Every structure is written in C-alpha cells, then in structure tokens.
Amino acid sequence: MTATAPAPPAAPAARERPRGTLGRLAGALHRRPRLRLALLLTAPLLWLAVLYLGSLAVLFVSAFWTTNSFTSQVVKVWSTDNLRAVLTTPVYREVIVRSVGVALAVTVLCAVIGFPLAFFTARVAPRRWRPLLVVAVLTPLWASYLVKVYAWRLILSEGGLADWMLRPFGLDGPGYGLPAAVLTLTYLWLPYMILPVHTALAQLPAGLLEASADLGARPARTFRSVVLPLVLPSVGAGSVFTFSLSLGDYITVQIVGGKTQLIGNLVYSNIELNLPMAAALGLVPVVVIVLYLLALRRTGALSSL
Amino acid sequence: MEGMAVRLQGLRKTFGETVAVAGIDLAVHDGEFFSMLGPSGSGKTTVLRLIAGFETPTEGRIELAGQDVTRLAPFERDVHTVFQDYALFPHMTVEQNVAYALKIRKVPKAERLRQAREALAQVRLEGYGTRRPAQLSGGQRQRVALARALVGRPRVLLLDEPLGALDAQLRERMQLELKALQREVGITFVFVTHDQQEALAMSDRIAVFRQGRLEQVGTPADIYERPATSFVASFVGTSNLLRGEAARRVLGTDGVHSVRPEKIRVLKESAADDEPGQVTATGTVAETVYLGDATRFLVDLDAGGRLTALQQNLTTSAEDVAAFRGARVRLAWHRRHTVQVPDAR
C-alpha cells in the first residue's frame, strides 16, 4: 500500500466479519459448550460403553451361567458353582498363584533391567544419540509377537543359542518351562517399562540434581534421595503394562513354557467346552489387575501414566 | 589468603566455539555483598556456576577462602546456591527441603528440625514447614530456597537472579530483606543480576560484565558516577552520552562524555547561566515521558545529539508536562558531573 492511494470507499464494510453457514454454525457452537461437548464425545463414549464395558458385563454375567455337560451348550441358569470351583479347586488355585507369580516376576525383572537402561538412554548417552536409542528400544514392538516368541523358542531349544553360550561355563540353557516363559515375557514387555521410566528421567530437571550436589550430596546420595523418589512413580506406571500383559498371556507359555499352565491357558482350554467356566476363570485376572491398580493408586504412580 | 572469600584468576570457559568467560580476575572479600551485573549472555551466570562447581573452567583457577577448589566437585565446596528457578525438591516438604544439607551432614534429627525452623523463621515462613513446594507462591518458594541455602552456614552464598521471577513490588521488598538478611548472617553473598537498579540498591561492590569480560569493578557510586567505559555508562542508568561535534560545542573537548539525567536541570531558553562551573546547552524538547514522581525530557541539542533529563515533579503534573513537547529549553548541569569515558567504538 502506498501513502498516496485514496482510502477505499468500502472500508467500513470490510470490518464486518464474513458469516457463511459454517461461520454461523461455529458461532452457535461457541455459545453452547454443552452441545459442543456432546457432539465431540458421543461416538467415543458409545464405543467405550457398548464394546468395552459391555463385553466386560457379558463376561461377568456369563460366569454365573452353567453348561449342559453332554452337549456343551450354555444353560442360562444362575449358579455360583463356577466361581466357587475357581476359588476352591486346588489345581485352579495353584495356577492362579503361579500366574500372579509370573506376572510379578516379569514386572520385577523388567524394572531391574529397564531402570539402568532407561537411565543410560535418558541421562548418560550423548544427547544426540538419545532419540536413536529410544527408537532402538521401541523397534522390537514393530515385529510380530509370534515371530519374537518363536525366535525365543529357537534360542532356548536343545543345542540352541542359550545352550551354546552357557556351555563354556559348564551350564545348560533353561530349556522350555516356567523360567523360559518368564524370560520371554520379560523380553516382550521390557519396552513398556523402559519408555515411561526414560520419559520421567529425561524430564527430571537438571537443576534438582545440581541443587542436591550443591547442598553437599554425593552422586549416590542424590540418586537415592532425589532421582529415585521422583522416578519411582514411572516404574509403577510401567509395571501396569508389564503386570497386566503378563497376566493375560497364554501364547508365550504354550510355545516356550513346556507343560506349564497359566490362567490364560485354562481360559483358552475351557472356551469350547465350558464357556461359563472360562468366563469365571477370566474374571480372575480382571479382579487381580483392579486390585493391583488400586494398590498403585495409593502410591501416586497412576498420575504419571 | 586472609579476608578473601572468592578469588578468580585468569578464569576462562568455552563451550565448543562459544567463549562464555574470556579471562577474568576477581576477588570477593569476606562478608561482602558482591553483585555480578551484565546483560544476558555476558558470562555472569557461567562465572557463578564455575564458582559453585557445576562447570569446570577451561583455564584458570578458583579459590574459596584461600583454598584451590578448581577441580573439586560441587559437594566438596563450602558454597550453596539459590537457583533462579529455586530448584526445590517437589517430593519433600518445605522443612525437609531446608533440612536437606543438614541431613547429609548427619546432623541428629531434633537438631536438624530446630535449625530448619530457625532458618524458616529467618525468612518469615514460620508454620509453612509441612507444606509442599507446589502449595507455595513464587515469593514463598524463593524464601524457602534462601532458607535451604543458608541453613548450612556456607562460606559463600551464590544467588542466580533469585528475584527475577517476582513481580515488581515483591521484588523491591525482597531486595531490602535480602540485604538485611546478609547483614544479619554475615555470609558473603555473590549475587547475579541483569537489573542495574537491583545491583545498585543492594551491593557493597559490583562487577559489570560484558561479553565474558569485566568492564568495571567498584562500589555502586563508582559504577554509577564514574563509569569506566561507555558500556558501563549506558548499561547502568540511562544512556546519556555526548560525543564528537556535540561534545566539542557543549563541553569544549573531544571524546565521549557521560552525564546522568537527574543531574541535568531543564530551564527556560532565556535563563542565564551565571553559576561558575556550569555547562549549558540549548535544544528542543522532542518527547516528554510522565513517570508520576518525575518526568523524563528527551531533548535534541542544537549542537547535535540527544540528552535525557530527569526532573522531579515538584509542582508540575501530567498536563503541564505534555505542553513542553516542542518547546525550546536550556539544559544546565555542573561540569563535575560530566565523566569522560573511553570510546568503545
């Protein structure tokens, strides 16, 4: 625009805001926040209510039904026999305890292996390598679950990689069985532990570490008094994944677990023959995980998810 | 060496190609309130971090109370820092934050609590001990950081723009409190700031930084009244320089000269300059800035150049001030308020 140009005659009209149909709609929505919220949330809420909570409800209800033992047909007669059987049959109780034990063992292993790794990727490695290292941690998640488990089956097979590497020390590989299942599950879920811990460590303000050193704390002390308490909630967050994923798994155990049975295997083997029993068994991990989350909530770990 | 809290010799720090500190020699006396003043990127914070031990110097030597600490880790040095963002531990209560240094020194719990409460009382935060840092306001957090750094009675307290995040009123109050506190505890304070007013108000001595070097070290009066360089003259206080042709015609000499705005009186053009030793210059008022308690006159001199004059509003008000714009005036000040400074250009 030049200084000599005459003022356009339509200048006042230009101050009017353009108001097409869309503009009016946007204005109307702006004045009705509740309508806006409803339009935004209806579809996802329906999805959540019908598909997610609905299927959980069906699971819960069908646990109280029974089966015709000749035809394997579901009979919709209310009974608590299935639940009682789950809680009192020694085999079931043994499997439940074993499954929770496996989930806890995998979680502890993931935390013990994952924390130092995350510490390295977030604070020790040169800054420009860090994003690359995170990608490296995540890469296994892009490979098929089955491929990874079968790879472990090969590693753990008789005369396989594990045996070969341990032979110089006079040892054998673990073979197939419970330890193999724990090992493979730890491998599978490790990235889910590393990622939240890495994020928490990376977000730890450098100033806090400096302040601690400034006030006389040696590195070990700073780690114990500042780093650990601030990062522990993220370990809890990671454990939600490692614990629940391990508790629900049944394929890994089938492939590398030998004769070991976990709760998932019981559910799987009951689905064809006795659906209500499978549902009752399926409620067990749901209840255990809810209890686990409630326990975690007390520590404040869930807010760092 | 007796009486020296901090001594820097030939201190240099480079980050790759960037020279943050380009050779500094400095001595801070015991019990002194010493400010390091400079624009951002002038190296003052890096010097503070070198003294604290967060950075290792590329060259040079750092002494604390006569002891060479150049290669010592932060936790081996008898200095504590008040950080710009306070760096309070969010998972600890205020009391635990303050007692942290004592806990590390294995002071018994009862004694630790007593000292922490005492330090909190010193910064007027009694009764806040069980709160978390997140539940405090900015000013309160700042006090907690101060108490936490003071409780261990360090030889030197380092303060990195501690008042920077506070609003103007709180800031002024904290300046007074900080100065009073320093007198009370008798600890050497090394205070980093980019605010010249703050440095002048609080310090026993000031070091002015520019591009990793020291421009001048001296008392507030030295720095303000007798700036050693044109940079100091313009960074501390309002830039009011006469140079070249203007200097020749007004002062009768060459070079760059500085005169403080509040030393200049604004007179009618016809006013006679009868006092001995008086310098006068005529000009036109280009702009007036009404500040409430005073008015700033920007005057274009007939001799060339522009001077700012600050006048107390003894009888004038905003309306009178506006009428001055475009008026012809005579500026007058005493010759001894003119300071020649080396030309940096």
pLDDT of residue A98: 94
Residue from A159, A163, A185 nearest A249 by CA = A185
Handedness of CA B127, B129, B131, B132 (dihedral sign): positive
Q: Which CATH number, 1.20.1250.20, 2.40.128.690, 1.10.3720.10, 1.10.10.10, labels domain A81-304?
A: 1.10.3720.10
- The terminus-to-terminus CA distance of chain A in angstroms comes to 54
Partner-chain residue, chosen from B81, B88, B90, that has the shortest CB–CB distance to A214: B81
pLDDT of residue A301: 66
Partner-chain residue, chosen from A211, A216, A221, that has the shortest CB–CB distance to B87: A211
Name the minimum distance, in Å, from the CA of A229 to any CA of chain B.
7
Please tell me the distance from the alpha carbon of residue B220 to that of residue B139, in angstroms, as a whole number.
26
Q: Which residues is B8 bridged to in the sheet?
A: B26, B62
**Residue B64: C-alpha distances to residues A214, A272, B90, B102, B151 (Å):** 15, 79, 31, 21, 19
Quick check: B115 contacting A, CB < 8 Å?
no
Name the minimum distance, in Å, from the CA of A255 to any CA of chain B.
44
A229 contacts in chain B (CB < 8 Å): 91
Ordered by start, the domain boundaries in chain A are: 81-304
Q: Is A28 exposed, middle or buried (0-12, 13-18, 19+ CB in 10 A)?
A: exposed
pLDDT of residue B76: 93
Q: Using the beta-carbon criterion (under 8 Å), do B54 and A210 form an inter-chain contact?
A: yes
Residues of chain A whose pLDDT is less than 70? 1-18, 300-305
Mutate to test the interface with B, among A210, A215, A222 (most CBs of B within 10 A): A215
Quick check: B73 contacting A, CB < 8 Å?
yes
CA atoms within 13 A on the CB side of B262: 8
Buried b / exposed e along B286-322 (16+ C-beta atoms within 10 A): eebebeeeebbbbbebebbbbbbbbbeeeebeeeebe
Name the minimum distance, in Å, from the CA of A249 to any CA of chain B.
36
The nearest alpha carbon in chain B to A229 belongs to B91
pLDDT of residue B286: 92
pLDDT of residue A38: 87
Whose tokens are 């004038």? That residue is B316
pLDDT per position in chain B (345 positions), as tens? 457 899 999 999 999 899 999 999 999 999 999 999 999 889 999 999 999 999 999 999 999 998 999 999 999 999 999 999 899 999 999 999 999 999 999 999 999 999 999 999 988 888 898 999 999 998 899 899 999 999 988 999 999 998 887 888 888 888 888 898 899 888 999 999 998 889 999 999 999 999 999 999 999 999 998 888 888 988 888 778 888 888 888 888 888 888 889 889 888 888 776 677 888 889 999 999 888 888 999 999 998 888 999 988 887 777 778 888 888 999 999 888 888 887 755
Quick check: B75 contacting A, CB < 8 Å?
yes
- The terminus-to-terminus CA distance of chain B in angstroms comes to 39
Q: Using the beta-carbon criterion (under 8 Å), do A216 and B91 form an inter-chain contact?
A: no
Predicted TM-score (pTM) of the model is 0.77
pLDDT of residue A175: 82
Quick check: B79 contacting A, CB < 8 Å?
yes
Q: Using the beta-carbon criterion (under 8 Å), do B100 and A225 form an inter-chain contact?
A: yes
User: Residue A46 phi/psi, 5° resolution?
Assistant: -60, -45
List the helix and strand counts (H, then E) for chain A: 16, 2
Please tell me the distance from the alpha carbon of residue B224 to that of residue B260, in angstroms, as a whole number.
9
Give this complex's ipTM. 0.82
Name the minimum distance, in Å, from the CA of B87 to any CA of chain A.
5
A231 contacts in chain B (CB < 8 Å): none
pLDDT of residue A2: 45
Partner-chain residue, chosen from B89, B90, B105, that has the shortest CB–CB distance to A216: B105
Name the minimum distance, in Å, from the CA of A9 to any CA of chain B.
36
